[in-house]
Every structure is written in C-alpha cells, then in structure tokens.
Amino acid sequence: MKKQSLILLLLGLSLYASAQKGPEFAINQSDVEIPLRFLAADELGGRRTGSNGNLIAARYIAEHLRSYGYSMAPGLNSYFQPIGFQANTPPASASLMIGKTEYQFKEDFIVMTGDATKLSKLDVVFAGNGWIDEKTGQDDYKGKDVKGKLVVVLPGAPNETSPQAVFRAMAKKRDWAYERGAAGLIELYRLSFPWNFFTSYFGKESLGVAPKEDPKASNKMFYGWLKEKNTVSDIKDLQEGKKFKASLSSSGFSRRMVPSQNVVGVLEGSDPQLKNEYLIISAHYDHVGIGKEGGGAYSKEDSIFNGARDNAMGTVALLSAAKALALQKPKRSVIVLAVTGEELGLLGSQYYADNPLIPLNKCIFNLNTDGAGYNSTEHISIIGWSRTGTDALIEQAANSVGLKVFPEPAPEQNLFDRSDNVSFAVKGVPALDFSPGITKFDDVIAKYYHQVADHAESVDMPYFLKYCQSFAHLARLIADNAQRPQWKAGDKYEKAGMELYKK
C-alpha cells in the first residue's frame, strides 16, 4: 500500500513539474498518435485539396480549435477561410509553329490553359519576364503592343529561379498578358529540373486560386511552356528583335470550380500590451490524394497517399501547440493557421498572406512546421536557421525534450522557399520551418516522401511525441519572449520586413 502511494505521489509530482514548464510537457503519446492515425487514415483518401477527405480534415481541425476555446478570426463566421480554386484539365491536343520551326506537343511544348481555334500568322512579341511590379516600376509590357499577338517570355519573375517562385508567378503572368489582349502566352523552359518531370506534373489536372474578377476569363487564352530546340535559333533571334509569325491551336481544355479552405483560430494573449502582437503558427493539412493524383508509384492493393509525415505530423504538432497554449495562455496572441493547397504550390498560405484576417504588420513571426519525413530521431531540423534571431529559443525547445538541432539540411534544395513559411517571408514577416529530423535527402526519406508507404503505422511514435512537444514549447517561447524576432542584416527578406514594419 505504501509502495502504491509512493508511486502515485511521484506521478503527481512529475505531472506538476511538467505543468510548471508548460502544458505541452504533459502531452502523452496517445494525444498525438490518435489524431495522426485519423488524419493519415485511408478513409481520408490522401486529403487532396478540394476532396471530401480534405474537407473532413479541415472540419476535424476546426472542431479541435473550437473545443480549445479559440475565437473565429475577424471577418469570418466560422473557422474556415474559404478559397475558390479552379481545376484546369489541359488541352488534349495542340500545335505550335514559330517562324519555320514546328514544335511537337508534349515533346517540345505543353499547353496548360485555353482552347485556341486555329490561329495563324500571329505576330510574336518577346516581353522579358512578362512581369509588372508597381513598387519597382518594372513593366515588361511598356511600349509593347501585344493585342492579338503571341507573347513569349522568360520563366518566372526577375531573379527568382526556384521552382516554387516560378509556379507562384504563373497565374499573375497569364492574367497580365490576357488583360493586354494577347492571343497567347508562352514561357520558355529554362529551369533546373527535367522537362519530363515538369510535363508529368502539369500535364494532368491542376488546381489554382481562381481569379477574383472573372474565375474563367484569363483561362480562355492559350498559355503554355516551350522547351527550345538546340538546333534552331528562332527564340534567340526573337529576343534580339527579329520579327516572327506564329501559328497555334489547342482543344480539349476544361475547367471547374473546386472549393477548399484554410482553417483559422485566434487565441488572445495574456499580457495587456503584448496581446496586440500576434504569433502565427502554421502547418499544411492537405496531401496529394489517390492514384494518378498522387506522387510516386502505386498499385491496385495500395493507391492512397496517406501523408502521415507530409504533413499529418505537422498538423498534429500544430494542434498540440494550440491546445497547450490555450491551457496556459502566452503573453502574445496566437493565430493558428492550418493551410490547404500546399502541395499545389503553397496556394493556401499564399492566399492567407495576400488576404490576412489580422494585418501582417501586427504579426511578429511565422512558425511553420512541415517536412518530407525524418532520418534522425535525435534531431529536429530548422530551415531558416540563423536568419531571425531565434536560434537560442529553438535550441532550448529542442533540448527540453532531449533532442538536438540539425540546421539547414540539404541547402542545395532551397527548402526555405519551398514551404509555407515563404508566403509570409516575402511579405516581410520573419519566419522559419520547423521540421522532423532530416540530415540529408537519402533512401530513408525517399522511401516515404510522397509514397503510398507513408502510413501512420510507420511513424516512430515516441519520437513524434517529442517533436510535438518541442514545437509547442518553441511557440510558447517565441510568444513570451520580450525580444521580437527580426531578419538578419542582409537577409533576402530584410527589405520586405523593414517595409512591413516601417523600420
């Protein structure tokens, strides 16, 4: 009897000590394993943006925020921030000739939007990147008449060559060309990854945020990508001012509206002054779906991309932090943001950053959690290390559960600009991505990343518990810290931060 009483006393003291450090340390394995198994279950069908499984996941997150006592964000009558996506099915057939050079559909060029009846003898105009920036005064269309003509441009935005930056620029560039009356827009394929990867990704149905004015208008225009032929110099001659005629056609393009949503909850801080500042904690809850919708190989026996690592783990870490912070409020207010459309090009986070429910200049930091998986259960990995003045807090959060920090895994992959944190960074908000322990991209990562093998059963649950606890604790440390994070001098996003906060 005395032994049992001693055990109960020690257990009580342990729970008390955990509570003194924060409720995040009282989280147990069941608290994280159950929601992970739910979000990565077959019944949710890979949580593809716009699917029923995606909506179920959103509802699951929303009801947890409701139960924790989070308020709805200003301007919303629910925990959902609706986003109107447009699904585009590319044309089934197309032809293109520039000058005397004929390009083969799919082999040399693809068309992403627009049915074009047979158009011939169109003037071709080269327009730089096809980019417009009111802040810098750049207008690649200035002095150019492109009405009724085929516009050829360099890929992406000026000085932005990462795949995600190129993908984010697509809709804007198409809309700008359409607004100026162009008959078509072609971007030149000068990217670092293989053409067949690009065509396989964009050669199937894709989703994007529908334009605000007319969700279908700009899609009427022929828009595609061209892989230049090494044996001809037409494009080089075009860039140097030579005039060309073009003929083009496409057919079989279709589009439909697809609704989805970000999930948002707001927790008021405890400090009378600091509660007017906000920490955004975020994770994407979507994944890639089923079969041909998805990522890697699949079979009849298993065609569901469950996405336990990417990013049910991050979503559960977000919910764990949300609960712990609600149980013991931090000094600053907190915005919990679960975003959709990450796998389609960071669309949900970009939409929120463009349409913030609380002004971004009141938001001191974005702590995002996302990852491709893990190959070390001794670490958490930080993408954005040494850039925002938060390194000491990160190490404290990791060490509090016996983990170490592995900074900047695979720098050649430019991971910072490939996760949702970059949507806030480009606006000037200091940000980083908190990831499971990855030391390099190896076979352990490849085995599960966007693969049907990524089931909840394959996750190391004791490690996952530490990952959730450390993320939640880091959120608390940043929200309570007297010093606001800020971009390191010379960082590529420092100028945007100075503009946002008017420093």
- The pLDDT tens digits for 112-146 are 888 777 788 999 999 999 999 888 889 999 999 99
What residues contact residue 357 under an 8 Å CB cut-off, 6+ apart? 73, 74, 75, 76, 81, 264, 335
DSSP 413: G
C-alpha to C-alpha distance for 161 and 169, rounded to whole angstroms: 11
Q: What is the reported pLDDT for 193?
A: 78
pTM of the model: 0.83
Asked, as a colleague might, if the bond just before 311 is cis with ω within 30 of 0, I would say yes
C-alpha to C-alpha distance for 373 and 307, rounded to whole angstroms: 10
One CATH from 3.40.50.970, 1.10.260.40, 3.40.190.10, 3.50.30.30 for 91-252: 3.50.30.30
For residue 406, list its beta bridge partners.
381
Q: What is the reported pLDDT for 16?
A: 39
The HSE-up count of residue 267 (CA atoms within 13 Å, CB side) is 31
The CATH architecture that domain 24-86+258-501 belongs to is 3-Layer(aba) Sandwich (3.40)
**Strands annotated E in 305-397:** 333-339, 363-369, 379-383
Amino acid code (one letter) for 391: D
Angle between helices 461-480 and 391-399 (to 10 degrees): 140
- State the DSSP string of 183-230: SEEEEE---SS-HHHHHHHHTS-EEEEPPSS-TTGGGGSEEEEE---T
pLDDT in tens, 149-165: 999 999 988 887 777 77
> Is 177 within 8 Å of 130 (Cβ atoms)?
yes
Q: What is the reported pLDDT for 116?
A: 78
R_g over Cα of the chain: 24
> Is 383 within 8 Å of 415 (Cβ atoms)?
yes
- Residue extents of the structural domains in the chain: 24-86+258-501, 91-252
C-alpha to C-alpha distance for 291 and 491, rounded to whole angstroms: 41
Residue ranges for the chain with pLDDT beneath 70: 1-20, 211-219, 231, 503
Burial class (CB in 10 A: 0-12, 13-18, 19+), 1: exposed
